[in-house]
Amino acid sequence: MISSSHPCCGVHGPTWLPDQQNWPVWQHSSISHLHAVATVSDTFTPSEPTPLSTGLRYIIKVRDYSTLCKLLTVTAYVYRFVFNLRNKQAVKKDPITAGELHYVRKLWIKDCQQERYWREIQNLSTISRPYKRLLLVRQLRLFLDKEGLIRCGGRIHNAPLSHLTKFPYLLPHKHPLSTLIIHSVHVKLYHAGINSTVTALRQSYWVPAARQYVKSLLRRCTICKRHHGRPYPAPDPAPLPKSRTQDTPPFTVTGVDFTGALYVHQKGEEIKVYICLFTCVTTRAIHLEVVTDLFTETFLLAFRRFASRKSLPQLMVSDNASTYTSAAEELHQLFKSQALAVSLERSGVTWKFIPKKAPWYGGFWERLIGLTKSCIKKVLGR
């Protein structure tokens, strides 16, 4: 979702750390705010609200972290470090506890609300008359809880739900913290869909236009895209060639192709045969010939029967034999045969091959091959 790399971080720490002359100089406001928010007890009791000009966002950048867990863990370690500096008699060395993570989560929510909803906070803190409330305050029935966090009201006060579900925290739309929270909910549900993610999100948070926001974030999820993404779109087809658009007699330009092997009974024996399909490129009419093998003489006899029944084509179009998976060598020898070329040239027929590894050039006969095989299977039942 968000890159966690930082240009100053490495194996040996920042480049300015060994040289004291390059040490950064902290502003007095940042130090005062850090000390103010770090004055906590052993149980991490909440502190007083900070001014709108300061906040955690000026010390820790949310965009530098890819997951909510990393952000909360780093923030908890920073607060513990400051706490240990101010309370050297009770230095904490244990791993980060769930209470500390829960505390810094509320701090981030509060900092996020002070950044985007400071007008609503001021309106809720100073004005007591309902008709003078802001529009968002009236629409979502916003109120401040004991910790100074904005919560949303509703009509499910008497429902058998948790207090957080009945009065969720308000989070701004398209905020980095909201992105991390939605991503954590999505991962916790094992990359569920939009509806499940929105339902789980609203158990604790209320984000305006949440469905559209979640949909845009899930569209960029790598794992979801890998499993549910659309295939690579094919390019737009090129214009049809002249041979398929000119008004000519049937079978003036003819495509030819072979089906796979079929097994038929002849005099008590099961033999292998093939179907040679001739199709007109303009009318899509077809002519089928049964051949016993893929030799040149056999095909010439089938072509002679076709020309006698229909008409002698001026141009024959066929697939390049290298794209076949069955009987490729036989077809290659057939279509490249010198005897076939001489016989067709004497009759005034020109033979043309489609490009290699481009079977869509012969789509007009491949479709008819599929229909022919489907009809044969339905009739024969095998």
Q: How far apart are CA 43 and CA 103, in angstroms?
A: 10
Dist CA 23 CA 13 (whole Å): 13
pLDDT at residue 18, rounded to an integer? 81
Amino acid code (one letter) for 294: L
- Taking alpha carbons only, the member of 380, 381, 316, 378 closest to residue 347 is 316
What's the pLDDT tens digit per position in 56-102?
888 899 999 999 999 999 999 999 999 999 888 888 888 999 999 99
Q: So what's the pLDDT on residue 233?
A: 82
pLDDT at 235: 80
Specify the pLDDT at position 70: 95
What is the rounded CA–CA span in Å between residue 301 and residue 31? 96
Cα 134 to Cα 116: distance, rounded to the nearest angstrom: 14
pLDDT < 50: residue spans in the chain: 1-8, 28-51, 322-328
What share of the chain in percent tops pLDDT 90? 39
Integer CA distances (angstroms), 28 to 25, 56, 75, 111, 260, in order:
9, 15, 21, 20, 83
- pLDDT value of position 323: 36
> What is the pTM for the complete model shown?
0.55
What pLDDT does 382 receive? 64
Cβ atoms of residues 77 and 44 within 8 Å:
no
In this predicted structure, what is the pLDDT of residue 187?
A: 95
pLDDT of residue 339: 74
> What is the predicted pLDDT for the residue at 270?
87
Distance CA 323, CA 297 (A): 23
**pLDDT at 53 (0 to 100):** 58
